[in-house]
A and B are shown apart, each in its own frame.
Chain A
Amino acid sequence: MKGYNFAYLDEQTKRMIRRAILKAVAIPGHQIPFGSREIPLPYGWGTGGIQVTAAILGADDRLKVIDQGADDTTNAVSIRRFFARTADVATTTKTADATVIQTRHRIPETALRDGQIIVYQVPQPEPMYRLEPSRVETRRMHALADYGLMHVKLYEDIARLGHIGISYDYPVMVNARYLMAPSPIPAFDNPKMHMMPALQLFGAGREKRIYAVPPYTEVRSLDFVDHPFHPARAPHACGLCGAGDSYLDEVLTDDRGGRLFVCSDTDYCETRRADGQVGAEGVPVGMPGGAVEATQ
């Protein structure tokens, strides 16, 4: 784009971010402060993820951007356009074809492989912020690996409610050392982070932190022996493709309790339907009236 460097950020800034990323990879799960820049998108809308993506993107990369698992949600469209405009990189909606995937709130259903990088947009990198708002305090707790506060919170949930009451942004221990916020992905996605072959990078722009999980690193969701971690999903099959293993969105279809459960991962759903899988409320691909025509 005229007047701007490749992928918007100047090379000095990219270098600073890459240094932070390298440090983050070297200390899995540890939050690295970095000199976050203003991005022409608002704070809280993916500025951390955008800076990480901008710092790692090369001219021959193929970028996929998802929000809520979908490529066609407005903010995903907006961020994909930002990079198509400022870096002129190829974009894709296919998880398998992407070299870099920027995501908000989901990990794709299709398993990621060696060589891919997934960049998470992180609103709040501090996993204990609801329990201890002072970052001076939480930094000390991380340094001492003093995570009793979080265990007590989970215990109290079980004592009062019978279950752990966290259903997204469910805290994980990385490499048996750092407590980490996985970003607000549903707890359903947490197991995908464990020993993932792809590199996982996390960018929090407003909070000015970068952290990482290198490939094949242990990522454990906190739990207790007698209350094991439970990754929940709606107990249904996708109405369009019939998948019984994917994370589902619940779509209200009328005001009389009618609802449709569909895959939140649009690429996964479309790929299955292209392969001939049809759910209870779907129509085969190519037929008129197909429910999920691309709106672009």
Chain B
Amino acid sequence: MAYVAVKGGERAIDNAHAWLAETRRGNPDVPEIGVAQIAEQIGRAVDRVMGEGSLFDRELAALAIKQSQGDLIEAAFLLRAYRTTLPRFIHSEPVDTAGMAIRRRISATFKDLPGGQILGPTYDYTHRLLDFALASEATVAAAPEASHPVGEMAHVHSLLRHEGLLENDEPAAAGEPGDLTRQPLSFPAPRDVRLQALARGDEGFLLALGYSTQRGWGGTHPFAGEIRMGEAVVEIIPPELGFPIDIGDITLTECQMINQFKGSKTVPAQFTRGYGLVFGHSERKAMAMALVDRAMRAEELGEDVTAPAQNIEFVLYHSDNVEGTGFTEHLKLPHYVDFQSELETVRRMRRDMAAPMAEVAQ
């Protein structure tokens, strides 16, 4: 009867799902968590799921986090599987991050600059001491507000541009931007597609790759030229209107890395840039993305391609955690047919090896 035991059935699957639902709910004496609570109070997780799930929708991302018991890759997968069923009407105009309603804006390259340094809601200077007061419910005092509103802030790189010290923005490509969710990756991958892949990519993977460039595996000599976070306007141009209309605001984190560049025979020494842009407040991801974006420009800039972060094919094929988790976890599917064929091969090889050895022994 052991044979029967290894076979799955519909009932087994149904029962597993019922058990999963019960486990997800946890102890029924504890109040059930609401989607709104997740969206409001576990916002960084929601941001990450929106970014890796490629869909800006806080409510759905919060629902996905609830459904996945806080497994954020599973949540991103849920969001993507929903996103792929949605019709794609139009692509937006390039988002004007210079016009962003700033909540945070810092530059590591200048002590002060027009618009100033705005710390915003950051963990940067918190002391990482567990706050036991948070374990019990308490009201939070409102944060003090500035006496005057923060206006638009020009990008740091635009302040440097007139000296020619910093490479210019690439001219916008004509036609529709690439879209990995519609067209498979092909090489050489243009920068718009590379940036899309990074924006959807796994935060942990990009962090490790970005970090590796700082430790000598494809160094880029980076400075955090600017990091900004806030709300940016999304505009589309409906064909029947022919002019842009505002369809809403999204929260974005943008990172402009400024990287040393020695120059070449034809180009004088100047600073190059790596770019990171992600949904929500996700500074670690935006910074890692900017490091990896710059590392992947090695070939274009005439640098030696020696490190993993500089290998465009390696980075782009392995940055997607929904693909990666699926394929890694598929190893738990039955493989006994293949294993059986390997068993027979190994047995045959051992037999063949044993036969001449037996002859020698005689």
Contact = CB atoms under 8 A, between A and B. Distances in A.
Interface string A160-187: 0111010111000000000000001111
B235 interface: no
Interface stretch (B23-31, B183-191, B213-221): B183-191
A193 to B, nearest CB: 16
A158 B334 CA distance: 29
Contact of B349 (A39, A162, A291, A292): A162
Interface string B144-188: 000000000000000000000000000000000000011111110
B144 to A, nearest CB: 45
A131 to B, nearest CB: 16
B354 interface: no
Contacts of A187: 341
B185 A44 contact: no
A222 interface: no
A208 B3 contact: no
Contacts of A209: 184
B26 to A, nearest CB: 24
A33 interface: yes
A262 B323 CA distance: 34
A77 B6 contact: no
B1 interface: yes
B338 A184 contact: yes
A219 to B, nearest CB: 18
Contact of A295 (B8, B323, B330): B8
A78 B17 CA distance: 12
Interface string A97-115: 0000000111000000000
Interface stretch (B76-84, B246-254, B270-278, B289-297): B76-84
A37 B180 CA distance: 10
Interface stretch (A22-30, A53-61, A245-253, A272-280): A245-253
Contacts of A78: 13
A194 interface: no
A188 B258 CA distance: 57
Tell me what chain A mostly uses at the interface: helix, strand, loop, or mixed. loop
A27 B196 CA distance: 31
A40 B81 contact: yes
A168 B353 CA distance: 22
Interface string B1-18: 111101111111100000
A85 to B, nearest CB: 12
A168 B4 contact: no
B344 A234 contact: yes
B333 A67 contact: yes
B348 interface: yes
A284 B269 CA distance: 84
Contacts of B87: 10
Nearest to B16: A74
Contact of B341 (A8, A162, A186, A296): A186
A281 B87 CA distance: 56
Given A68-B336, A134-B313, A135-B187, A43 B323 contact: yes
A232 interface: yes
A200 interface: no
A67 B6 CA distance: 13
Best-buried of B10, B81, B333 by chain A (most CB within 10 Å): B333
A209 B186 CA distance: 12
A34 interface: yes
Interface string A4-20: 10001010000000000
A232 B348 contact: yes
A136 B316 CA distance: 13
Given A168-B337, A295-B7, A123 B184 contact: no
Interface string A192-206: 000000000000001
A248 B8 contact: no
Contacts of A69: 337
A271 interface: no
A239 to B, nearest CB: 9
B345 interface: yes
Interface string A227-244: 000001110000000000
Given A292-B3, A296-B9, 11 more contacts: A35-B183, A43-B322, A43-B330, A72-B8, A75-B334, A104-B333, A123-B330, A162-B352, A206-B326, A249-B337, A251-B6
